[in-house]
Structure 1
Amino acid sequence: MKKLVPTFIALILLSFSSAAHAQSVDAQFRTWLDQSLWPDAKAAGVSRATFDAAFKGVTPNLKLPDLVLPGQKTEMPKDQHQAEFGAPGAYFAEKTIGSVQTGGRARLSEQARTLRAVEQRFGVPSGIVLAIWGRESGFGRAKIPYDAIEVLSTKAFLSTRKDLFRKETLAALQVLQKGWATKSDMKSSWAGALGQPQFLPSSLIEHAVDMDGDGRRDIWNSVPDTLGSIANYLVHHGWQKGRDWGFEVTLPPSLSCSLEGPDRGKTGAEWAKLGVKRVNGSAFPAGETAKTGFLLLPAGTDGPAFIVTPNFYVLKDYNTSDLYALFVGNAADRITSGGSAFKGSWGSVDKLYRSDVAAMQRSLEKKGYDVGGSDGLPGYKTRRSIGEWQAKNGLTPTCFPSASLIKAVR
Structure 2
Amino acid sequence: MPAAPPKETRVRRILLSSALLSTATTACAGDLVFDDCLRGLRAQAADAGVSNEAFDTYAAQLAPDMSVLDLLDAQPEFTTPIWDYLAPLVDDQRIADGRAMLETHAATLAQVASKYEVDPQTVVAVWGVESDYGRAFGKRPLLQSLATLSCFGRRQAFFRNELFATLSLLQVGDLKADGLVGSWAGAFGHTQFMPTTYRRIAVDGDGDGRRDLVGSIPDALASTANYLVRAGWRSGEPWGYEVKLPPGFDASVAGRKSKRPVADWQGLGVLRADGSPLPASDAPAGLLLPAGVEGPAFLVFRNFDAIYSYNAAESYALAIALLSDRLRGGGPLLAAWPTDDPGLDRAARKHLQVLLLARGYAIGVPDGMIGTLTRRAIADEQLRLGLQPIDGRAGRKILDALVREGPPITLPR
TM-score range, shorter chain: 0.7 to 0.9
- Alignment equivalent of 2:48, drawn from 33, 44, 51: 44
1:60 maps to 64
Deviation of the 1:110 alpha carbon: 0.2
**Residue 254 to residue 22, structure 1, CA distance change in 2 (3 Å):** closer
Cα distance between partner residues in 2 of 1:317 and 1:86 = 20
User: 3-state SS of the aligned residue for 1:214?
Assistant: coil
Aligned equivalents of 1:94, 1:151: Cα separation in 2: 26
Q: 2:319 aligns with which of 324, 327, 351?
A: 327
Provide the C-alpha distance between the structure 1 equivalents of 2:311 and 2:177, rounded to a whole number of angstroms. 26
What's the secondary structure of 2:333's corresponding residue? coil
Aligned partner of residue 290 in structure 1, secondary structure: coil
> What corresponds to 2:14 in structure 1?
9
Change in Cα spacing, 1:181 to 1:94, as seen in structure 2 (3 Å) is closer
Is the CA contact (8 Å cut-off) linking 1:185 and 1:220 kept in structure 2?
no
Residue 262 to residue 198, structure 1, CA distance change in 2 (3 Å): same
Q: Distance in 1 between matches of 2:117 and 2:210?
A: 23
Q: Secondary structure at the match of 2:186?
A: coil
Q: Which of the numbers 244, 247, 253 marks the counterpart of 2:247?
A: 253
Q: TM-score, normalised by structure 2?
A: 0.75
Equivalent residues of 2:287, 2:298 under 8 A apart:
yes
Whether 1:342 aligns to 2:333 is yes
Partners of 1:61 and 1:150 within 8 A in 2: yes
**Cα distance in 1, alignment partners of residues 146 and 54 from structure 2:** 16
1:229 paired residue number: 223
Matches within 5 A, 1:150-299: 150-253=144-247, 255-281=249-275, 284=278, 289-299=281-291
Deviation at 1:185, TM superposition (A): 4.2
Aligned residues: 334
Tell me which residue corresponds to 1:110: 104
TM-score, with length taken from structure 1: 0.76
Q: How far, CA to CA, are the matches of 2:79 and 2:152 in structure 1? A: 28
SS of 1:249's equivalent in the other structure is strand
Which residue number corresponds to residue 304 of structure 1? 296
Give the direction of change, closer, same or farther, for the CA distance of 1:23–1:177 in structure 2 (3 Å limit). Answer: same
Q: Secondary structure at the match of 1:299?
A: coil
Residue 87 of structure 1: how far off its partner (Å): 3.1
Counterpart Cα distance in 2 of 1:109 and 1:192:
30
Residue 31 of structure 1: which of 33, 36, 41 is its match? Answer: 36
Distance across 1 between alignment mates of 2:189 and 2:303: 24
| 1:221 Cα offset (Å) | 1.4
Answer yes or no: is the 8 Å Cα contact 1:144–1:189 preserved in 2.
Answer: yes
Q: SS at 1:65's partner residue?
A: helix
| CA deviation string 1:111-135 (max 9, x = no partner) | 0011111111111111111111111
**Partners of 1:306 and 1:37 in 2: how far apart?**
46
Q: Structure 2 regions of 5+ residues with no counterpart?
A: 342-413
The superposition leaves residues 176-220 of structure 1 with CA deviations (integer Å, 9 ceiling, x where unpaired) of 111111211421112211112111110111111110111111111
In structure 1, the partner of 2:84 is 90
Q: Percent identity?
A: 38
**1:349/1:260 Cα in 2 relative to 1: closer, same or farther (>3 Å)?**
farther
Distance in 1 (CA, whole Å) between partners of 2:267 and 2:13 is: 77
Task: Say which structure, 1 or 2, has more relative contact order (CA 8 Å, 6+ apart).
Answer: 1
CA distance in structure 2 between the aligned counterparts of 1:86 and 1:43, rounded to whole angstroms: 40
Q: What is the deviation of 1:349?
A: 8.5
* Cα deviation 1:281-305 (Å, max 9, x = unaligned): 555556xx12111111111111011
SS in 1 for 2:69: coil
Where 2:287 maps in the other structure, the secondary structure is strand
Residue identity in the other structure for 1:105: R
Q: Pairwise CA RMSD of aligned residues?
A: 2.4
Tell me by how many angstroms 1:6 deviates. Answer: 2.8
Once the two structures are TM-superposed, the CA of residue 237 in structure 1 deviates from its matched residue by 1.2
Task: Check conservation: 1:262, 1:294, Cα contact below 8 A.
Answer: yes
Q: Deviations over 1:158-178 (max 9, x none)?
A: 122211111111111111111
Alpha-carbon contact 1:91-1:323 (below 8 Å) kept: yes
